[in-house]
Structure 1
Amino acid sequence: MGTTDSLAGHLRARARWRLDRVQTRDGDWNARCALALLDAAAYTQALPADDPLITALEDSGCFGAYGCGDFEPGEAVAKLIDSWHDGDPWELLTAIPAAARADGLPSPR
C-alpha cells in the first residue's frame, strides 16, 4: 500500500468513526467532521506519491521510521484529524507535520 492510499484509508476510517458516533444535540459536529475527512481522503487519494504535501508527511515520521510504512499518527496528529471539521483538505495535510513534531515522531531522514 502506498503512502497516499494509507493516509486516505486512515482518513476514511476516521470519517466512518465520526458517522457512527451518536451524540444528542451535537449541532451536526460529527457530520461536519465526517464530511471534511471524506473530502480530505478524496483529495489525498488523487495526489501523486511525490507531492510535496505527502513528502512533508514522510519527512515528519508519519509513515514510520523510513517513510515507507502505513500512516501511523501520534496522539497530537490523531487529535488534529479527529477534530478536523473546516478548511480545505490541503490545510489539514499542511497542519499534520507540525502536529507530528509535537508528538516527537522520529524523522526518517
Structure 2
Amino acid sequence: MADEAQLDAIARANAFAVYNGITTHQTGDGTAEASLEIGPDSLNPYGLLHGGAYYTLADCAAGSACRTDGRKYVTLHGSLDFIRSARAGQVTARARVEHRGRTT
C-alpha cells in the first residue's frame, strides 16, 4: 500500500479536482473514495449536479484506488450511466480495483 503522505501529495497536486472542490482519500488497499459538497458552481442550468462533476468525481476515486500500490496511473477509459441526479448535499464516489495486470 502506498504511503499516506504520498497519496495526500498526489491529491493536492490534482489542480482540477481541487478547483472543483473534490477531495479524495484512500480507504484501503485498492480502494478509495472521492467526495464533493454540491455548491452553485457545480450545478448545470437545471439546478442539478453537472454530469462532468459526476465523471470527475468517479475518475478521481478510481485513480486514487489504483495508486494505493504506489505506482503511477492515468485513466485509459471510462463510462457513466446517469440514473438520478442530486441538487444539494454531498456526493461520494467509491472505487475498488478489480484486477491489476501487467499490460493494458
- The answer to whether the superposition gives a TM-score over 0.5 is no
Give the structure with the larger helix fraction: 1
Give the structure with the larger strand fraction: 2
Q: TM-score, normalised by structure 2?
A: 0.32
